[in-house]
Chain A
């Protein structure tokens, strides 16, 4: 089967998104895990842990968002 440029583009975008989101996925999971540990050790600090957890998750998520933007650009613009 021959690979057209269109097919290569979609394949590339799919691979790019799947590999690009690996890092943020691990990061978010790890942030959640450590936040749960902190919560278990120190349940009174719930508010502070929660706020900082959400902030850190948003930072990790930003990387995934960059991946998403480039994927959208690849599909729509290039």
Chain B
């Protein structure tokens, strides 16, 4: 009962704090025409698309430092989890095994038992890297650390170079998987002129009707090959912009919400950001898996 009461009190206080902070904040002050209260006076979010360099003269950007942080977090977690391995796992080792098993099950579901080993390392790595970048960026105080005016750390996914690099890695690996599984025959996905040749062959032999049909379908399938090539190239773009856009939009959205209503309401968006980080990590790794499977299974 006391727990229920405490919950009610917390909700009431939260509901009361939100409008108070809105009226006292910068936007509310603009509407009422008074000075904003100093505790609610949040500076306007400052949108910077390119990563900034906190150290003057050194070509080290703040997103690079954030990447190092997330890599060290991942390495530390996995080192600690696999240090003293036991047959019956407990604690961190258990969590890591659960994660790996879940990923393995997911990949087996999508691509089948025989392809699981092929896709597992890269897919799980991309998932963990994107997730770590997103969630490390949510730690309170992450963006507030400043060195001579420029933030020392910034969510690495909001620098377009990181998503672009991941997209390139993903696409190049997909093509490698395709070539390894099918050898030179994988090229047929892009340059499909076999049917066209057959059609011309028939045409020369005097079978006009079958020949014309063959030539027609040959042209169509050659065109489909070109489309396939284009779609493989545009994947890089869509991969990059999906991750970059979602993360940048999240950063700006949270900043704007803190600017408008400094208390309570930003928590909602903070939670949404945590969810979006997970969803984007899932999508990036899942699409790599699906494209890889399509390349391995490409019909001839």
A62–B245 CB distance below 8 A? yes
CB of B234 within 8 Å of the partner chain = no
Interchain pairs with CB closer than 8 A, number: 37
Interface size range on B against A? 10 to 19
Tell me the complex Cα distance, A65–B245, Å. Answer: 6
Pick the most buried of A54, A65, A68, A73: most chain B CB atoms within 10 A of its CB: A65
Q: How distant is the Cα of A61 from the Cα of B241 in the complex, in angstroms?
A: 12
Instruction: Indicate whether A69 sits within 8 Å of B282 (C-beta atoms), given known contacts A76-B47, A76-B49.
Output: no
Report the minimum CB–CB distance from A28 to chain B (whole Å). Answer: 13
In contact, B279 and A58 (Cβ under 8 angstroms): yes
CB within 8 Å of A: which of B207-242? Answer: 238, 241-242
A55 at the interface (CB under 8 A from B): yes
Q: Kindly identify, within residues 238 to 256 of chain B, every residue whose CB is under 8 Å from any CB belonging to chain A.
A: 238, 241-242, 244-246, 248-249, 252
Q: Say whether, besides A54-B279, A55-B286, A62 and B248 are in contact (CB < 8 Å).
A: no
Describe B's contact surface by its main secondary structure.
Answer: helix
Partner of B245, one of A54, A59, A69, A76: A69
**Interchain CB contact under 8 A, B282 and A55:** yes
* Pairs across A and B, CB under 8 Å, 16 listed: A55-B282, A55-B286, A58-B246, A58-B279, A58-B280, A58-B283, A59-B283, A61-B246, A62-B242, A65-B241, A65-B245, A66-B245, A72-B47, A72-B49, A76-B47, A77-B49
Question: Chain B residues with Cβ under 8 A from A69's Cβ?
Answer: 241, 244-245, 248
Shortest B154–chain A CB gap in Å is 16
Interface centre among B47, B246, B286 (most CB of A within 10 A): B246
Interface size class of A (residues with CB under 8 A): 10 to 19
Contacts beyond the supplied A55-B279, A76-B49: 11 A-B pairs with Cβ under 8 Å: A54-B279, A55-B283, A58-B280, A59-B283, A62-B238, A62-B242, A65-B245, A65-B246, A69-B241, A72-B47, A72-B49
- Which residue from chain A places its CB closest to the CB of B253 in the assembled complex? A68
Chain A contacts of B283 at CB under 8 A? 55, 58-59
Residue of A nearest to B246 (CB): A65
**How near does chain A come to B159, taking the closest CB pair, in angstroms?**
14
Candidates B49, B238, B245, B280; contact of A68 at CB < 8 Å: B245
Contact B249 A65 (CB under 8 A): yes
A58 CB contacts on chain B under 8 angstroms: 246, 279-280, 283
Chain A nearest CB: distance from B265 CB in Å? 20
* A78 → B minimal CB distance (Å): 13
List chain B residues, Cβ under 8 A from A59.
283
CA of A31 to CA of B238 in the docked complex: distance in angstroms? 21
Give residues of chain A (31-66) contacting chain B, Cβ–Cβ below 8 Å: 54-55, 58-59, 61-62, 65-66
- In whole angstroms, how far apart are the Cα atoms of A64 and B246 in the complex? 9
Distance (whole angstroms) from the CB of B45 to the closest CB of chain A: 12
